[in-house]
Amino acid sequence: MAGGTSAAAETSRRPHDSPVRGLTVEHRTDPLGVDADRPRFGWRTRSAGRGWRQGEYQILVASSPGRLTAARADVWNSGRVRSSDSVAVRYAGKSLRASTRYHWTVSVWDADGRAAGTASPSVFETGLMSTDGVAGWDGARWIGMKGKAPNSAGAPMLRKEETLKTGSRRQVREARLYISALGVYEAYVNGHRVTVEQDGVPTIELLPPGWTNYDARVNYMTYDVTDLVPRRPDVTLAVVLGNGWYNGRVSDGSTYYAKDGNALAVKAKLLIRYSDGTTQTVVTAPDGGWKATDTGPYRADDIYDGQTYDAREELPGWTSHGFDDAAWPDVERVAFEDKYPDVRLLAYPGETARFIDRWDRRPQSITLATGVTGQEGSPNGRGRIVVDPARTVTDPAQAASASVTIGSGETAVFDLGQNMVGVARYGVRGPAGAKAEFRFGEMLNDDSAGADGPEGSVYRANLRSAKATSTYILKGDPKGETHQDSLTFYGFRYVSVTASETVTITRLTGRVATSAVRETGTVTTNDPDVNKLASNIRWGQRGNYLWVPTDCPQRDERLGWTGDTQVFATTGLYNVDAGVFLSHFQDTVVDSQTIYGADKAQYTGVAPGGRYNFPGGGSGWADCGVVLPWTLWQMTGDATVVEHNWSSMVRYLDWIQEQTGDTYAGQGSLTGDWLAPQKTSAQLMSDVYYGYSAQLMARMAQAIGRSTEAEAYERLFGRIRQAFVTKYLGTDGGRVTLKSGLGEASPIEPGADPNQKTEDNSQSALLWVLKLGFYETEAQRRTLVGLLADNIGNDAAYKEAHPDSIRVRYAENTLSVGFLGVNVLAPVLTDEGRADLAYKLLHQDALPSWLFSVKNGATTVWERWNSYSEDAGFGPVGMNSFNHYAYGAIMEWMYAYMAGIARDPDSPGFKRFLLQPHLDPTGKITRVSGAYESPYGEIRSAWAVEEGGRTLAYEAVVPANSEATLRLPAVSADSVREGRTPLARVDGVRFLGHSDGVSSYRLLSGRYRLTADLR
């Protein structure tokens, strides 16, 4: 959507007085470019009364708004369907036509047949409805600059002018741009950048069309460009192409990677519809009058290294009509389809990565350094920067708008106060030819041994080989020049600026780009440290949800690591509307399975691309291919992802069984419990993940009507369980031991102590055994819980009894898990009745802990528990990202247990859900407020401990057409009251029982304000 009115904008102006609202198609609001033959519809209903349930619905789809009546709907009239479904309801009307706008609405009735209302009309628009890159494209071909050698300097800039068929009786009614690239693109229509709408304003995307396995699928985008094709006799279409992920080191090792470079290309179709019903198209074609050059200002671009822009080479007006391109070379067909004849060209199904203005950050301080001093005698021999106090700004209010002048040999360091992902926008003034270099980093150097420069300079060692530099060469405009990179991205909090000549830097702004566009959940408490942790987790997700869920946004990696993705997915889906984003990633995971996976069956450690895809055991990472569909189904209530991926998941489980046979052991794991302080056998972690995947397969099979397969996977799970118990659960002398030291830890973990051994009764092993029930008796379970509590407690007696354990190095009540233990730690503890330990771990700020990073100044979550400390400096540089969301998986527990908004596994999508707030036994947190916009509407759960701990005040909202099971701590059932009435006696509330200090109820939809006595 570019320029003025879009489908979403039309919706934003509609009245919202109907109780039926929140209409979606394919889980998006008023989407363009829907390529589903039978799209999924969804809606929500609000009701002021309690207990409202949908009994029937009727969907109408029509070719125009005027036909949206039961008698005139010319595309689909579902009739009155007796069902409470309002999520992922399948279209069942006439065959949909490509590039067509459809109007729709839904009417609902309650369970007693009373009309509840009809939604304000909504729209959706189909895409090209093809996958072969031919049908619907009207002859558009992949084209690039003729004669341009891959990797040669200069980004290709392509343009074409076309005469329109307008006249006195024929005007442009609407225009759509369908476009893709091998590489990334900026697109222009009639001199205007093509944008999308965000928060009601045109917004620039970053690096469309994103990243896929290019030899399996490429995405195209759809834009409404009607307002960019005004009443004039011609149209100009222009495109800049960047290397992106297609042609850079980031794809080294991929099947589509070429050492000498890949030719960049664009494929586009501009469809123009006129008022008289006729159409016209402008397409990319080698003989269609397109021209190209690489002599413009875009001199170099790379995902890892940054971008070089030479403003002296700008070509004013090149995107508009009338520009003289006679001297430009022609274009040529890029024979992509010849090399990859089976590649699919598909409409991108979700929200693109774009800039979100409200998250922009201005400097909190600006430091001007004129040199280095104090090298001799400094702890690391690097000295410290020499600060010019006259040009240094420490007041945040002044720094936000201050300008700074630097000369050759000087450095300005901008602190934006927040680690973020995107680019910097900056103003610069100086002589023509002056070169300003903007280098990005996440931390400042201290005087520790791990620093890579003088104290106060920007630390960049953890970027490894990534140059992460924005280079701008001035054209010398005396009024100043403004720039922001468009063909790369950076992960940064700090920007270090140097220049070849004296220049003035103004209005530097950190511009945040993300695919995590629409936030759906919040958790806040009265504890500022816990709130900061939640903020850090959210910022980490923003930065790493960029087209694919990446592991880090700053160094020479930035890959879609599947292990990180699966452990964080539930947190990610609570925080933002990421269902389509992660479903699309799952498609990429399946593509990678067939391209890179062993025997075309093993899921890979990275998707897309082949960089770092290890050929050996991939447990915990490869299992993303099973865990992610399960998580998406549970959180969204849409089983399509399970059905769509079923054959792929079966292939993976069959492959493991072929590898290990009747040993029922996992495939092995090169990664193990990644970066855990206490080492666990990597094979044990593989075995539990094999069991976990089998268990999830059994549950998913039952849900999609595959009962025979469900029984088979239940039997498989049982055999894995028995084999595990036999191998790892020792009971010699009546003493239970979980032999998690049986085998080596990850053999590839960088920075690990080579002399550190795996240990029995490790935290991660105990957690997974308890989660999966890998024990034989309740007595064993109680013993295992005790072993876990002792390990976490880590008191003097425990250390004395375990002198060789790594735990002796750490404080009491500290965690010792890695990537594969972090998301199960607090939930398992709470489920086993040890919420006290979960809260102690949450509040802990000694190493290792979540708040250790908060205490040491973090604004995002780190990759290592010890990434940095003010006392010891930087952690091992080989694997030390300061923006790495995996450990942020604790936020799943904050939603589901602390606030108490938890899904019911037997009712995916929060149709029925749990309200299970767990109070803080430490007393530090006395107030919690949680909210989550579920598929049925917003769920709220808020509690406060009052009167010195004697009383609990609790508020909850259960959305219409859903219900909840409330489990509320209370001294007795009678003490739980709504007003003065015991909750058990309130109409519509079903009392389920009281035990172990918890009263349970079934709540119908509505708002509840309750109190309970705690003692």
If you search the block for the tokens 């897309």, which residue do you land on?
Answer: 608
- Residue 592 CB partners (closer than 8 Å, separation 6+): 213, 603, 604, 606, 607, 608, 609, 613
pLDDT given for residue 232 in this prediction = 80
- Helices 562-575 and 579-596 pack at an angle, to 10 degrees, of 170
Name the residue type at position 781.
R
Let me know: does 156 contact 207? Beta carbons within 8 Å.
no
Query: What's the predicted TM-score (pTM) here?
Result: 0.96
Give the helix, strand, coil percentages of the chain, each rounded to 5.
25, 30, 45
Residue 869's SS3 state is strand
Residue 885 has what pLDDT? 95
pLDDT of 239 reads 98
pLDDT of residue 168: 67
> Long-range pairs for 977-980 at CB < 8 Å and ≥24 separation?
977/1010, 977/1011, 977/1012, 978/1008, 978/1009, 978/1010
Distance CA 195, CA 680 (A): 49
What's the mean pLDDT when you consider all of the chain? 95
Question: Which residue positions in the chain have pLDDT lower than 50?
Answer: 1-15
Give just the sign of the alpha carbon dihedral 617, 619, 624, 625: positive
DSSP annotation string for 740-775 = TTSS---TT-TT--TTPPP-TT-HHHHHHHHHHT-S
Pick the closest to residue 101 from 131, 140, 133, 68 (CA basis).
68
Residue 7: the pLDDT is 37
Digit-coded pLDDT (tens) for 416-426: 999 999 999 99
Q: Is 629 helix (H, G, I), strand (E, B) or coil?
A: helix
pLDDT at 221: 98
Residue 848, preceding bond cis, omega within 30 degrees? Answer: yes
Cα separation, 606 vs 608, in Å, equals 6
Q: How far apart are CA 665 and CA 696, in angstroms?
A: 17
Q: Which two tokens stand for residue 345?
A: 């060209």
- pLDDT per residue as tens digits for the range 643-667: 999 999 999 999 999 999 999 999 9
Write the pLDDT tens digit of every residue in 36-63.
999 999 999 999 889 999 999 999 999 9
Instruction: Give 786's strand partners.
Output: none
pLDDT of residue 12: 38
Nearest CA to 901 out of 853, 962, 852, 850 is that of 962
Task: Give the end-to-end CA distance of the chain in Å, rounded to a whole number.
Answer: 58
How far out from the chain centre does Cα 218 lie? 20
